[in-house]
Structure 1
Amino acid sequence: MSASIDAKIKELKVLEDGRKLQITWADGKDSVFNSNWLRFNCQCVKCRCPVTQMKTFEISSIPLDDKMEVKIADCGKILVTWKNENHNGEFDPAFLRKNCYSKQSIEEKRQLIRALPNKKTTIEKMEWSELDNDFGLWRLLRTVNDDGIMMVKNVPTEVGTILKLMKRVGPTQESFYEETWHAVTKEGAINISETGGKLPYHLDIPMYEAPPGILFLECLEFDAGVDGGDTIFADFLQVAEQFRIDHPEHFKTLTTVPATIKRIHLDRDHPVHMIIRTPHIKVNNKGEILSFHWHPCHHGPLCVEEEYVDAYYHAYQEFHKAVENSPYNKKIRFTKGDMVVINNRRMVHCRTAYGGKPGQRHLQGGYVCIDDYKSRLNVLENTVGNKGPVRHVFNGDWFC
């Protein structure tokens, strides 16, 4: 937002006996700031470290509801004096315009960052060679933000290639499957992905309070002799929003009744005993979707009051059907050197059963934290991208 255009002030008014400041901007819009909000966001050097921009004042020492005196300095900054505290603060008008919290301003911001359902029938693609610079990386991360998924073609199939790309985005997010893992048929399998069995639509490892964010999944081998083994992707946002329209009561059930999601496996090198009880769909006070938890293979015995049991299972089954039958699901058959990058908080995937000799279908995967991904995209957006807003990534952020 440009301070010279958008943040030009037409008029200042102190309202309610000094407890509110109204700013009328040059474009005719008004912003009103409470005394408490201004005090806790004071930009002066006493309240904020000039090097780190971190707050330094003592929260409990601030007198609440203090009266203000306000004027504009010759440099253009807004100077505020809180009378009881005798504290002098200052604000750049651009800061106040950017952080205006009027209903209109908040809704405009929400519209800019609200994620949109993916109704494409194909997956956007790019070449591995395009990722040799930050612009290519921005394009990849931007598409994942917009669509939930992108495919990279002709990726080198040496073990470790995927790790190099992941670390360009952020620190890897380890789990009980370690830094990277392999989906390949083998004896002594500890996960369905290590067998040739069918995998239902799921988000990876949803029994974590903060499940893996961005999934990197590369095909190292996929022989022509493999029968089956196709992968299908579905946008949970698209399915859930349509489900809200078609089955409002079922949708309400899935947002209010906590499911049991668990992974208990003690007979392995890294024993696991994890249980979380949470609704499959989390929403904020406006009903906007914040996050999902879904993996039918890990849904344990429901533990809720009796009156919710039947409603839950009816909603659960109906939603499962909606995911399977979405007209926007995207089916692919991996070829050697293909990689998909997926928002694991939003895009579910499944795999058809397959047969063939062990090792003929070999995928390697790993994760990056959703917040590190969002941070990296924000940085790239402002350095090599379009300087646009990053849309909601389903990390639980209420502002969506």
Structure 2
Amino acid sequence: MAMLNAVLRTFCKQTVGRYQHVSALTGSSSVPVRWIKTNSKLLSSVQQVQVVDGGKKLNVTWDDGKSFDFHSIWLRFQCPCSNCREESSGLFRTRPADIPLGLKIKDAVKTDNGDVQVQWKEEQHHGHFSQDFLHQHIYSKDQLQAKKEVSRPVFKRSDGCGTLNEDGLAKLSGGSYGERLLSNFSPRFDENVRGGVTRFLDMYQVLSKFRVEHPNEFKTLCRVPISIQMEYENSDYPVLMSKRRPMIYLDDYGDVISVVWHTYMHAPLEVPEEDVEEFYNAYQLLGRAVEFSEDAIDTKLKPGEVIAFNNRRMLHARSAYEEGGSGKRHFQGGYLSGDDFKSRLLVLAKKMGDPRPAIRIGNNDWR
């Protein structure tokens, strides 16, 4: 674990730019910095606030003339005050059961600095929201779509983190990356080794084409659950993993956020009779799309090279090593948590003043 943490730190190491903390909100005590930090640039100014729909919503009008309604209950669950959030972490510590049902806004005002103060009706509680925070979290359909369209990798430079985040695959050779990773993984490759070509295939790319060519089968794989099982009883660390889920998960926009393709780990299918043939037909068609895809990437590691890839997105295989080669090969690999990688990526991006979300990493996150 210590070695993997060292690798994670090395792989994600970036030069961080300066960033500033947003001042604590007037009228609230010890607002967690993490919760209200932005990219230190005023996004838009609040011009007017008005309680509407009988207190169920707060209408906010901005200096560009646009307005948006924030639901009362949405605002309550975002309250940044020290009573609602842990000061150090920003975690919301108010229990859902403690917030009145059908909570309505009693009053709302714009403060002298343009922030918004909200007073709720059914409980003696008020929240103080920065105008930057509100503007950054508008959840209209158009705004959510706009956020989705600009949800590109947080690092646009040609670095390992950004490449792995965007493409799911990154090859690092030489330089500080290669040297530091090699010191942890200690792989050795001889130029005289024959064979051993590694092949990668982006499953997101396969599914984007499969969805167009076989729309009904795509829907089947999103609906019918498969059974996955891995069992190693006779080992130092016995393992028995069992899972039942559809092969493909979609988000609220219908985009793929997760896919499982473990052809060697399938347990007996447990679905209604009418789904059996439909599932296997779709499964076999996707199998053909994988096998005969023209989008596979073939590469062979050279001395001093390291490959990192998203195991929840990239299919990978290797050709056999050929007889007659006189070289020697020593190889080591390791796993990093996808959630840890994404967390470190977002932390570094935020320090560089880039608040955009990371691209999906296949962990069922809808963002």
Q: For residues 388 and 51 of structure 1, what CA distance do their matches in structure 2 show?
A: 23
1:376 to 344, 350, 355: 344
Query: Residue 149 of structure 1 contacts residue 347 of structure 1 at CA under 8 Å; is this kept in 2?
Result: yes
Would the alpha carbon gap of residues 17 and 386 (structure 1) be closer, same or farther in structure 2, given more than 3 Å must change? closer
Partner residue in 2 for 1:248: 215
Q: Which runs of 5 or more residues in structure 1 are unaligned?
A: 116-134, 163-217
Query: Residue 170 of structure 2 contacts residue 307 of structure 2 at CA under 8 Å; is this kept in 1?
Result: yes
Query: Residue 217 of structure 2 contacts residue 282 of structure 2 at CA under 8 Å; is this kept in 1?
Result: yes
Partner residue in 2 for 1:172: none
Would the alpha carbon gap of residues 56 and 259 (structure 1) be closer, same or farther in structure 2, given more than 3 Å must change? closer
Q: For residues 136 and 113 of structure 1, what CA distance do their matches in structure 2 show?
A: 12
1:101 maps onto 2:124 in alignment: no
2:52 to 15, 18, 35: 15
1:344 to 311, 330, 342: 311
Partner residue in 2 for 1:153: 173
Q: CA deviation at 1:159?
A: 7.4
Q: CA deviation at 1:392?
A: 1.4
Q: For residues 54 and 158 of structure 1, what CA distance do their matches in structure 2 show?
A: 34
Q: For residues 156 and 90 of structure 1, what CA distance do their matches in structure 2 show?
A: 49
Partner residue in 2 for 1:326: 293
- For 1:1-400, what aligned pairs fall within 5 Å after superposition? 5-64=42-101, 65-113=103-151, 139-154=159-174, 155-156=178-179, 161-162=184-185, 219-222=187-190, 224-226=192-194, 228-356=195-323, 360-384=328-352, 388-399=356-367
Q: For residues 256 and 358 of structure 1, what CA distance do their matches in structure 2 show?
A: 51
Q: For residues 391 and 21 of structure 1, what CA distance do their matches in structure 2 show?
A: 31
Give the aligned residue type for 2:131. Answer: P
Q: For residues 326 and 133 of structure 2, what CA distance do their matches in structure 1 show?
A: 59
Give the aligned residue type for 2:271. Answer: V
Q: For residues 327 and 247 of structure 2, what CA distance do their matches in structure 1 show?
A: 34
| Structure in which a larger fraction of residues adopt strand | 1
Give the aligned residue type for 2:360. Answer: H
TM-score normalised over the length of structure 2: 0.79
Would the alpha carbon gap of residues 292 and 220 (structure 1) be closer, same or farther in structure 2, given more than 3 Å must change? farther
Q: For residues 100 and 263 of structure 2, what CA distance do their matches in structure 1 show?
A: 52
Q: How many residues align?
A: 324
Would the alpha carbon gap of residues 219 and 49 (structure 1) be closer, same or farther in structure 2, given more than 3 Å must change? closer
Would the alpha carbon gap of residues 323 and 30 (structure 1) be closer, same or farther in structure 2, given more than 3 Å must change? same
Would the alpha carbon gap of residues 348 and 75 (structure 1) be closer, same or farther in structure 2, given more than 3 Å must change? same
Q: CA deviation at 1:367?
A: 1.0
TM-score normalised over the length of structure 1: 0.73
Give the aligned residue type for 2:112. Answer: D
Identity of paired residues, percent?
36
Q: CA deviation at 1:311?
A: 1.9
Would the alpha carbon gap of residues 58 and 328 (structure 1) be closer, same or farther in structure 2, given more than 3 Å must change? closer
Q: CA deviation at 1:386?
A: 5.7
Q: For residues 12 and 332 of structure 1, what CA distance do their matches in structure 2 show?
A: 58
Give secondary structure in 2 for the equivalent of 1:391. coil
Give secondary structure in 1 for the equivalent of 2:363. coil
Q: Which runs of 5 or more residues in structure 2 are unaligned?
A: 1-37
